[in-house]
Chain A
Amino acid sequence: EPEVTQTPSHQVTQMGQEVILRCVPISNHLYFYWYRQILGQKVEFLVSFYNNEISEKSEIFDDQFSVERPDGSNFTLKIRSTKLEDSAMYFCASNEGAGANVLTFGAGSRLTVL
C-alpha cells in the first residue's frame, strides 16, 4: 500500500539552528500538509500546499516556518531558527484530491530542540 515517507525519524538540534524536515508524499496525491503534535497535546494543523503554493496556514505557521516542493517528489518543512517550544512530532500528510478524500499521514519526524 502506498505510504507517506518522512525523514529523519528523529532530529536533535540546538536552539537557533535551522532544521529541514523532509517528506515524500504518495505519488499521485496533489494536496500536502504539515501537522505537529507537542508531547501530550493535540495534533495541530500547520500548513497545506497545493499547486506549488501555500493554500492555508494556521497561526502557528509564522515567519520562522517555510515549505517547499523542490522537485517532483519531496515536500519540505524548514524551521529557520528553532526554539525550545518547537520540540514536537511533525507529521506530513497528503491526499489525492480536495477535502473529500482520506488524509494519509507519515510516521512523523520527532524534533528535539535543546
Chain B
Amino acid sequence: KQEVTQIPAALSVPEGENLVLNCSFTDSAIYNLQWFRQDPGKGLTSLLLIQSSQREQTSGRLNASLDKSSGRSTLYIAASQPGDSATYLCAVRSGGGADGLTFGKGTHLIIQP
C-alpha cells in the first residue's frame, strides 16, 4: 500500500527566503506526482504535475523535482512571499487510469512579513 510522507509538518520563515518542502513515497512504481496548495477551509489548487518519466517541472517561483527510484520529490519555492502561506500537499498516482491519488498530510507553511 502506497504511503506518502511530508517533511516538515510545519515551517515558518521570513519573507524572501528560498525554501524546500520534502515528500517521500514508499512504492516507486508511480504514474505521476502532483503538488497542491490548500488554503484554510478551501479546496485544493494544483501547482505542478510531474509525470513519472520527468525529473522536474517549473512554474514561476516554484520548482518541483522527482526522483522516482528513491521515492522522493521536493518543492522549491524561491523568494517566498506572505501570500505563499498555505498548506502544501504532495500526492501520487499509482496507476494511469482512474486510480485515486494518495496524499501526504502536508506541510503547513507560514511566511512572516
| B110 lies within 8 A of chain A by Cβ | no
Interface size on B, residues (CB 8 A): 27
| B residues less than 8 Å from A50 (CB atoms) | 97-98
CA distance A35 to B43 in the complex (A): 11
B97–A55 touching, CB < 8 Å: yes
Given A35, A58, A99, A108, which contacts B97 in the complex, CB threshold below 8 Å? A99
Question: Interface 1/0s, chain A 80-114, versus B by CB < 8 A?
Answer: 00000000000101000011111111111010000
Q: Which of B74-113 contact A (CB under 8 A)?
A: 89, 91, 93, 95-106
| B73 lies within 8 A of chain A by Cβ | no
CA distance A67 to B105 in the complex (A): 26
Size bin of chain A's contact surface: 20 to 34
Nearest CB of chain A from residue B88's CB, rounded to whole Å: 12
Q: Which stretch in B18-26, B44-52, B62-70 binds the other chain?
A: B44-52
| B42 lies within 8 A of chain A by Cβ | yes
| A41 lies within 8 A of chain B by Cβ | yes
B104–A45 touching, CB < 8 Å: no
